[in-house]
Structure 1
Amino acid sequence: MIHLPANANILVMHAPISFRNGIDGTAAVARIVLKYEPMDGAYFVFRNKAGHSLRVLHFDGSGFWLATKRLSKGRFNPWPKGEGTIPCSTLLARELQILIWAGDWTRCGFPDAWRKIS
C-alpha cells in the first residue's frame, strides 16, 4: 500500500515508457522528458505500453522508492491524456488511489476540496 499525503504533488506521464529501466532510468525520464527534478519529492506515475502495469517513483529524502503494480486482468483505463505537447498532467492523491486499484477515476464523484474562505 502506498500512503499518499492529500497535498502530494503527483505527475502522470501520458506516453508509456519501457519498464526495463530501473530507478535511474525512470528518474532520467522524469528529469529529461517531463522536465522535473525527481529529487524534489513529487510522485511520478508511469505506465507500460500494454497498459496493464504502472510504476510510481518517489524520492523520500534519503532514497528513491519505485513501486510497480501489474494487473492480472484488464488495463489501467482511462489513462490521463495530454493536451498538445504537454507530456504529463497532475492528479490528486485520491484520484491516484483509484487509478492504482484500476478504477475509473474520471467517473468517481468526489466532494469539492475544502478550503477556508476569508
Structure 2
Amino acid sequence: MINLAELGRVFIVCGKTDMRRGIDSLAYIVKKSFNLDPFSGCVFLFGCRRRDRFKALYWDGQGFWMLYKRFENG
C-alpha cells in the first residue's frame, strides 16, 4: 500500500504522453528527458493530449507502482 504521507516530491511531466507506454518506457522518459532518477521515491505524473487521463509512476523500494486514472466527465 502507498502511504501518501511518506511520498517524496511530485513531478508533473508537461506535454503529451502516449498512454500506451508502460513502466519501462515512462522510467526511460524520466531518466533521459529530465535527467531524474526514477528510483528516487518521487512521484512522476504523465498526462495525455485529451487531458482526461493520467498515469503516475512511483518506486516504493521493492518495485514500481503505475497508477492509471481516467476521468469519465472530462
TM-score normalized by the length of structure 1 = 0.58
| Structure 1 residues 5-50: Cα deviation after superposition (integer angstroms, max 9, x where no partner) | 2662110011111111100001111111121010011100010111
Residues 7, 43 of structure 2: 8 Å contact kept? no
TM-score normalized by the length of structure 2 = 0.89
Residues 58, 65 of structure 1: 8 Å contact kept? yes
1:8-19 mapped onto 2 (5 Å cutoff): 8-19=8-19
Could you tell me which runs of 5 or more consecutive residues in structure 2 were left unpaired when the two chains were aligned.
none
Query: Which residue number corresponds to residue 5 of structure 2?
Result: 5
Write the letter of the residue equivalent to 1:42. Answer: C
Q: Root-mean-square deviation (CA), in Å? A: 1.8
Q: Give the number of equivalent residue pairs.
A: 74
Could you tell me which runs of 5 or more consecutive residues in structure 1 were left unpaired when the two chains were aligned.
75-118
1:7-86 mapped onto 2 (5 Å cutoff): 8-74=8-74
- Structure 1 ranges of 4+ moved more than 3 A: none
Residues 7, 41 of structure 2: 8 Å contact kept? no
Greater CA radius of gyration, 1 or 2?
A: 1
* 1:3 to 1:54, Cα distance in 2 relative to 1, 3 A: farther
In 2, Cα distance between equivalents of 1:60 and 1:6: 10
Identical counterparts, % of pairs: 27
